Structure 1
Amino acid sequence: IVVSTGIVGWKYGKGFEYAAVASLCVFCFSHLFSMSANWLLKPVEKHINNGYYEDAERILRSMPDLKIIGVTGSYGKTSTKHYLNRILSEHFDVMMTPGSYNTTMGVIRTVREYLKPYNEVFIVEMGAKQIGDIKEICDLVHPSVGIVTAVGEQHLESFKSIENVQRTKFELIDSLPSDGGLAVINDDFPYVANRPVSNVECVRYAVSNPGNAGYVATDITYTPAGTQFTVRTPQGASLEFSTRLVGECNVSNLLAAVIVAMRLGVPEDKIRYAVGQIEQVEHRLNMKRTPGGVTIIDDAFNSNPTGSSMALDVLAMMTQGRRIVVTPGMIELGDRQEELNRNFGQKIAASADIAIVVGEYNREAIVDGINESKEKDASSATEVHTVPTFLDSQSLLGSILRPGDTVLYENDLPDTFK
């Protein structure tokens, strides 16, 4: 570059040489310019965001009768939000945070752009990547009802420990008002069940760990058409429901929504009707049939140890044809990445006839888990295929699928995931 600059200067004069050197400096130090610009603009951005925050506060203050429900959890919060919105809409005018608007700025945008003066209920999904994130949202919206769907091994790379996950998710419960506040929490997770709640009324629910739960889902039956289940209440009543959804996780999420609806006075017949009409949330145990007679279970959104296990339980119950799982494994699990993916492989061996492992990132751990199960159980005969990309997995499926087969897509499957 120096030589070429010298040649340019010799041929075209000093002015051109200076311009070339200046351009070279701009190129070499562009990252410093960007960092400086970001640093200089931070106060401006903060001032603008504060204005948005104050405007959202003003709107919420103008609606004192608005019932605000917070929903958080390591997983299940988005589905629970959708299910609760559908059920409450039978009786109230409801607004929920759209999509994944589960940060403070996402909630602010929802309040400023979507919330209407006539809305009666506002359902706020609350996500977090670090301690304090949920408290920040609560300080803005002041929920009176809080749902904690799960505390599990999700985002351990940022939280570092499950105790920090628990502390953060329960920021929602700790923010509820002592007068009229209601906590609805899922005892199926140890780090929910072992967390005492004394600041507000607390209702516990469960599917698999009913010990201290007031509401329990029982008699769960899956079919390709959906699920039937019964809700047992603290008063001893048994309420039967049918839904198009499948999977224990979806039953659990529905249970939380049913409890809140009952506590808000939605009639039982309206709850039952809404549960039967709820559409499956895309990429979260979404089930459909192809014209060729193949059942597709789409669980491709952010797999986690609990959710993947439940998805495999659903796959195991599909016995009309072969059971096939397509997965790259689980991510964002910190130091337990290899261990949990090996456990995932062992569960695959107990639930699937064919496993297609996509990419290299978790391949060894998953395949080792499958093989370990085969060594322990001679009846386990899961056929394993490894492919480099999702496109390759689709080509393989095209050559082996038969009518009656069921395919489970577990976790995100972009070609860029190595």
Structure 2
Amino acid sequence: MTTRTLLAALQQHEYNWPRFSQWYQRHQGQDPRIEPADWTVKLRLVSAISSTLFFVPQLVALRLALGLLAPAEGTLRQGWQTLARLKLAWLRRRGLVVLGIAGSYAKTSTKHIMAYLLEEQLSVCATPKSINTPLGISQVIWRQLKSDHQLLIIELGEYYQGDVAQLAALVRPDYGVVTPVGRQHLERMGSLDQVAATIGELVEYFAGRPDRLAVHQANRGWFGGEGSHVQSDTHPGKGSQSYVWYGEGDGDVEGDGDVDSGKADGDGDAPPDWTVNRPEVSARGTEFVVRQAAGEKDNRASHKSWQVFTPLYGAHQAINTLPSFWLAGRLGLDQAAVAKRCRTLPYLERRHYPTFAENEVLILDNSYNTNPDSWPASRRLLEQLPAERRIVITAGFLELGDQAETLNRQLGRDLAGVAEYLGLIETPWADAICQGFTAAGGQASHVATAANQAQLLESLRATIIPKSLILFEGGWQEQYG
């Protein structure tokens, strides 16, 4: 492999050597070509140091470079965090409000949606792209947060236990949002309980201020009160009904999903405070009704509702707008203006991002990631959007540990119900997806496999007819060529 490919893979695995080593062993003997997503200072230093160690094998040189950087990196990280804390303390005295978002998925979409919907009424700074680590967040605060910003929206990443608590202690959010808990990063976390416990660190942070935390309805079983699965001495789950809940209203907006959700059972009967109702998806986008229930949390005697349209596809994206309506109300902003601004929401990169090709072919790029709990939203779109033929290109579910084969086989069975043709990126679980697809009635001759998306598109070109719908579903495809 080329040095650039190794550097790119190392960066994609967040410089975690055991995980990078596993990737290398899986691809040894192959020749994937990957370019680094961003030539950060750290990546440049790793490259420079390892290049001076030309007399040892490539992997040894990279490992030594990381080891030599570690002491300086720790000092640098602490320095950035100190600067960030000082700047936040100064800006809070000038009225800055900080909101933190945690969850397995939908964090980045919720963040970008909120920044856009509120920036017409507030000066907003949000961490760019998917930056969600202490160093990245600290650098954004120091470099991009200005004295005239009124709202800072921060995505809190969870890779290992304690991550969310560390970030909450760093930025001390005034408000919080918890998006769905799901089977993301299972290889690192070890179990779904551990994932939920780590995300629940933000719930614990707001234990004394429950009205300042909006929690997705899918998390009722984790944080929903007595009997919920995530409990501790500081947050035993009691009284958590006073959190602000948001999610689906009347009708099925998420799709039931044949992939077992793995979510904890909880008090799912209590209606959310904020709901999306009657979503209708078309080639134009999604129409829906936002409803705020009557209740005692803000002394409302009756509910409020807004008719909303967004160009974004799917009820799941409609639900991602709800924290914006909630926060607008908390900050005294015009919620009707938020509803109006939804009409011009820009498409979100690699999150069902549409390309309208010739012959009325619609391409949906949902390649940022996928998991067994977010996949039903994509399946729902395949069912709802009109098409003469449906083609799905995927690498399957990643980071699922010993559940990978079972859940990817189930993915294949699901795909057989919504897609006529299937393109599989060559991964250790591609065979499992194919087996599930054919076992559920899909035709083996309609399955193509290749090293990357470009090769798959070429293989499937002849199957694309006018009014086809092509979905790229998940998968960090850069890792496979």
SS in 1 for 2:416: helix
Matches within 5 A, 1:301-316: 301-316=368-383
SS in 1 for 2:374: helix
CA displacement at 1:334 relative to structure 2:
1.0
Does the aligned pair in 2 maintain the 1:231–1:255 contact within 8 Å? yes
Counterpart of 2:384 (choices 294, 314, 317) is: 317
Q: C-alpha distance in 1, partners of 2:223/2:282? A: 30
* 1:264 alignment counterpart: 331
* 1:52 alignment counterpart: 80
CA displacement at 1:32 relative to structure 2:
7.9
Q: C-alpha distance in 1, partners of 2:400/2:64? A: 34
Does the aligned pair in 2 maintain the 1:144–1:177 contact within 8 Å? no
Does the aligned pair in 2 maintain the 1:178–1:199 contact within 8 Å? no
Q: C-alpha distance in 2, partners of 1:353/1:73? A: 33
Give a deviation string over 1:124-182, Cα, whole Å, max 9, x none. 01111101111111111100111011111100000001111111112122223735861
Q: C-alpha distance in 2, partners of 1:383/1:48? A: 54
Counterpart of 2:365 (choices 277, 298, 305) is: 298
* 1:15 alignment counterpart: none
Q: C-alpha distance in 1, partners of 2:139/2:158? A: 17
What code does the residue aligned with 1:57 have? R
Q: C-alpha distance in 2, partners of 1:382/1:58? A: 60
Once the two structures are overlaid, the 10-residue window that deviates more, 353-362 or 76-85, is 353-362
CA displacement at 1:192 relative to structure 2:
4.9
What code does the residue aligned with 1:256 have? P
Q: C-alpha distance in 2, partners of 1:386/1:275? A: 38
CA displacement at 1:398 relative to structure 2:
2.1
SS in 2 for 1:218: strand
* 2:318 alignment counterpart: 251
Show structure 1 runs of 5+ residues with no match: 1-24, 375-379
Q: Go from structure 1 to structure 2 and tell me whether the alpha carbon gap of 1:382 and 1:350 turns closer, same or farther (over 3 Å shift).
A: farther
Q: RMSD in angstroms over aligned alpha carbons?
A: 2.7
SS in 1 for 2:480: coil
Q: C-alpha distance in 2, partners of 1:255/1:323? A: 30
Q: Go from structure 1 to structure 2 and tell me whether the alpha carbon gap of 1:306 and 1:382 turns closer, same or farther (over 3 Å shift).
A: farther
How many aligned positions are there? 389
**Does residue 1:165 correspond to 2:195, yes or no?**
yes
* 1:377 alignment counterpart: none
What code does the residue aligned with 2:277 have? T
SS in 1 for 2:309: strand
Does the aligned pair in 1 maintain the 2:115–2:126 contact within 8 Å? yes
**Does residue 1:387 correspond to 2:449, yes or no?**
yes
Structure (1 or 2) with the larger CA radius of gyration: 1
* 2:13 alignment counterpart: none
**Does residue 1:230 correspond to 2:289, yes or no?**
yes
Counterpart of 2:464 (choices 378, 397, 401) is: 401
SS in 1 for 2:293: coil
Q: C-alpha distance in 1, partners of 2:385/2:91? A: 49
Instruction: Report percent identity of matched pairs.
Output: 26
Q: C-alpha distance in 2, partners of 1:51/1:360? A: 40
TM-score (norm 2): 0.75
Matches within 5 A, 1:185-200: 185-189=215-219, 190-193=221-224, 194=228, 196=237, 198=239
Does the aligned pair in 2 maintain the 1:174–1:199 contact within 8 Å? no
Counterpart of 2:278 (choices 204, 212, 219) is: 219
SS in 2 for 1:74: coil
Counterpart of 1:149 (choices 157, 169, 179) is: 179
Q: Go from structure 1 to structure 2 and tell me whether the alpha carbon gap of 1:197 and 1:111 turns closer, same or farther (over 3 Å shift).
A: farther
Does the aligned pair in 2 maintain the 1:210–1:216 contact within 8 Å? no
What code does the residue aligned with 2:165 have? K
Q: C-alpha distance in 2, partners of 1:29/1:385? A: 39
SS in 2 for 1:63: helix
* 1:203 alignment counterpart: 244
Q: C-alpha distance in 1, partners of 2:150/2:55? A: 55
Counterpart of 2:90 (choices 41, 58, 62) is: 62
Q: Go from structure 1 to structure 2 and tell me whether the alpha carbon gap of 1:154 and 1:101 turns closer, same or farther (over 3 Å shift).
A: same
* 2:155 alignment counterpart: 125
CA displacement at 1:183 relative to structure 2:
0.8
Q: C-alpha distance in 1, partners of 2:324/2:372? A: 23
Counterpart of 2:212 (choices 164, 169, 182) is: 182
Give a deviation string over 1:61-119, Cα, whole Å, max 9, x none. 11122110001110000000000101111211110111222000011001110000111
Does the aligned pair in 1 maintain the 2:292–2:305 contact within 8 Å? yes
Does the aligned pair in 1 maintain the 2:211–2:244 contact within 8 Å? no
Q: C-alpha distance in 1, partners of 2:65/2:335? A: 57
* 2:413 alignment counterpart: 346
Q: C-alpha distance in 2, partners of 1:381/1:28? A: 49
Q: Go from structure 1 to structure 2 and tell me whether the alpha carbon gap of 1:33 and 1:154 turns closer, same or farther (over 3 Å shift).
A: closer
CA displacement at 1:33 relative to structure 2:
8.6
Q: C-alpha distance in 2, partners of 1:366/1:192? A: 33
CA displacement at 1:360 relative to structure 2:
4.2
Once the two structures are overlaid, the 10-residue window that deviates more, 50-59 or 406-415, is 406-415
CA displacement at 1:320 relative to structure 2:
3.4
SS in 2 for 1:95: strand
